[in-house]
Amino acid sequence: MSNRHLSTAAWTVLAALTILPAGIIALDQASAAGKDLIPRDVIFGNPERAGAQISPDGKFFTFLAPRDGVMNIWIVKRGQSFDEARPLTAEKVRPIRQYYWSANGEDVLYVQDKGGDENFLLYSVSAKTGKERKLTDFQGVRVFIYAGSLSRPNELLVGINDRDKAFHDPYLLNVSTGELKKLFDNTEKYDGFVADDSLTIRFVSRATQDGGQEVFKFDNGKTEPFTKIGFEDSTTTGLAGLTSDGKTLYMTESRERNTAALVAIDLASGEKKVLAEDARADIGGTISDPVTGIVLAYAVDYLKNEWKAVDPALQADIDFLNENLKGQWAVQSQTLDNQVWIIGNDPVTGPARALTYDRKEKKLDLLYVGRPKLEGLALPEVCPVEIKSRDGLTLVSYLTLPVGSDTNGDCRPESPLPMVLNVHGGPWARDGYGYNSQSVWLADRGYATLQVNFRGSTGFGKEFTNAGDKQWGRKMHDDLLDGVNWAIAEGIAQKDKVAIYGGSYGGYATLWGITNTPEAFACGVAIVAPSNLNTLLDTIPPYWESFKEQMFRRVGDPRTEDGKALLNERSPLTYVDQIADPLLIGQGANDPRVKQAEADQIVSAMQAKNIPVTYVLYPDEGHGFARPENRTSFYAVSEAFLSQCLGGSFEPVGDDFAGSTITVPQGADAVPGLKDALAAMPKP
């Protein structure tokens, strides 16, 4: 596809940040005695290396690694030891989390925001000289990358919302010189642009008033209707890019079916060919030829991710990788000749690894292990399970048990355990199979962990996603309770020792569970959690304007009196007086999606009713906690909170507050040791 060189999805940047759980502080060191725990910083601190890429010509490897404690981009010549790598960037505060080689093979591109505000700017750094350039030098502006090109390797098609914060104007950007050329003012409010390899815009899309999409052919400003996507297919149907010759358009397609298929459309004849479909799940990732853009393979992720070939020539590669790699794998970088792949491998019961795969020689070589201190440790298995909801839906879920608790390998502990229900964010996202740092941490502390893909989750067809419409706090929550009840009935969970936690929508689910179904949970941890759905929808980021109609149809419409009433009735804030369980709330002060006011107002309401709450606030974070010092401090707090609530083991705080900006505006006194730990922090 023409945008394969720089994935639009990747460059919309971190739409689903890792949300990190909060909690309360260690009580005393004696509680950890008698058990060797995996240190928190080994699980949650900076990895030693991550994100390996290979240059288009295959001569260099790049990767992310700490430089003075902050994740930066490093480069090493292929064939040299990674110990000989040199840093390309010098970020001092916030980690670099996404980067890509430009098509010219000379510049490495990355994005960065400030303090989690999600106003991402684009930077380039020369792989040869290390010279760095800020390519979009704006204040309060967010960049999208729509396409790269092999025929114009120094240029990108980008979107910048400097004129209108809600909609991006398309620009051509020269990554070598920094020159920006606006193509036109996006007064028609297009929210998607698909270009061919010449970076000529060929298709545009925009939201409709019913929450769907309309797609147009585009020719130098002239538009022609191409297709219309109704609301019911809006999460499962869309353009997926062009081949480099511009003759074939790829789409995901759920119209006239339930799960999303991958289709190829011959633009000359209009012929549509289904390349892949699966009744269990939507077609997910693809492997494409780096030069032609032709899709060679695709993935289906139901219980586990499975790769399948479109081009029979790739079947031998898939078979080889399946036979020689444990767990899950994906291609994360390719040379232009498509002969060398960088493989990201998740062994599930071990830390992530990066390997080179020589397709001609059928040979794998290890580049590095991301967290080598985890190697050789006993890490838990993950059990994919199917749970039936009370109204007959199948809920694909993932159960993780402490090592040694399941001696016969039937995914059931020998006796019921305290359990944490970990609710994913979105809610239009999903949990999947594989190594999960939170599950590893919780299992090591003695807890079972259950992750339920409740209705509204994506990946399982449009009917499952649409079944969550206007079901916040209702059937979506029923699915979570059905998962808990299943775990209790199966002898997995102790009925009186189940905690609920999560971030974003998972934080909302936590607040809803603590306010509306307190009998089901012993405690809750809510991170960047919406507490008032009316104020949440009133303060969504301006660049979500095109998604607003969908939000209103799926959650509730604040523009109508009935809609406001529904949102009020589904807001945890409305039921504050029903809170009886221990609760911790965590928040980033710069969160553009779930504003700090969402946390402030429920904390204030609890204070007014003399209901205890502990509130942890980070002044330099947004929708999730990016800095490792903040992550580990948050886990240090949450670990003892869960120990108080569920009775598991914990590691004392130690140095885990060092370098963090953690503040506790409310409730430090309610947690033994927290106030003292805060007082002992080095002053800035």
pLDDT digits (tens, 9 = 90+) for 541-566: 999 999 999 999 999 999 999 999 99
Tokens of residue 510, six digits = 């936590």
DSSP string covering 317-379: HHHHHHHH--SEEEEEEE-TTS-EEEEEEE-SSS--EEEEEETTTTEEEEEEES-GGGTTS--
**Structure confidence by residue, pLDDT tens digits, 336-382:** 999 999 999 999 999 999 999 999 999 999 999 999 999 999 999 99
∠ at Cα 442 (438, 446), nearest 5°?
A: 170
What does the pLDDT average to over 605-634?
96
Give 19: exposed, middle or buried? Use CB within 10 Å, 0-12, 13-18, 19+: buried
Give 522: exposed, middle or buried? Use CB within 10 Å, 0-12, 13-18, 19+: buried
Is it true that the peptide bond before 56 is cis, omega within 30 degrees of 0? no
User: What are the residues whose beta carbons fall under 8 Å from the beta carbon of 361, sequence distance 6 or more?
Assistant: none
Domains along the chain?
Answer: 382-532+571-679 (3.40.50.1820)
Mean pLDDT, the chain, whole residue set: 93
With CA atoms as reference, report the closest residue to 308 among 286, 341, 338.
286
Whether residue 4 is predicted with pLDDT greater than 60 in this model: the reply is: no
Whether residue 20 is predicted with pLDDT greater than 90 in this model: the reply is: no
Given 31, 623, 633, 638, which residue is catalytic? 623
pLDDT value for 684: 64
pLDDT band at 11 (very low <50, low <70, confident <90, very high): very low
Given 504, 633, 649, 660, which residue is catalytic? 504
Whether residue 17 is predicted with pLDDT greater than 70 in this model: the reply is: no
Share of the chain above pLDDT 70, in %: 94
User: Is 504 considered catalytic here?
Assistant: yes
Question: pTM of the predicted model, to two decimals?
Answer: 0.94
Does residue 161 sit in helix, strand or coil?
Answer: strand
Least confident of 96-105, 338-347, 670-679: 670-679
User: Is 600 considered catalytic here?
Assistant: no
User: Is 477 considered catalytic here?
Assistant: no
pLDDT value for 671: 67
Given 591, 620, 638, 660, which residue is catalytic? 591
User: What are the residues whose beta carbons fall under 8 Å from the beta carbon of 138, sequence distance 6 or more?
Assistant: 121, 160, 162
Q: Amino acid identity, residue 650?
A: F
pLDDT band at 73 (very low <50, low <70, confident <90, very high): very high
Starting at the edge strand that comes first in sequence, how are the strands of the sheet with 107-112 ordered? 99-101, 107-112, 121-126, 132-134
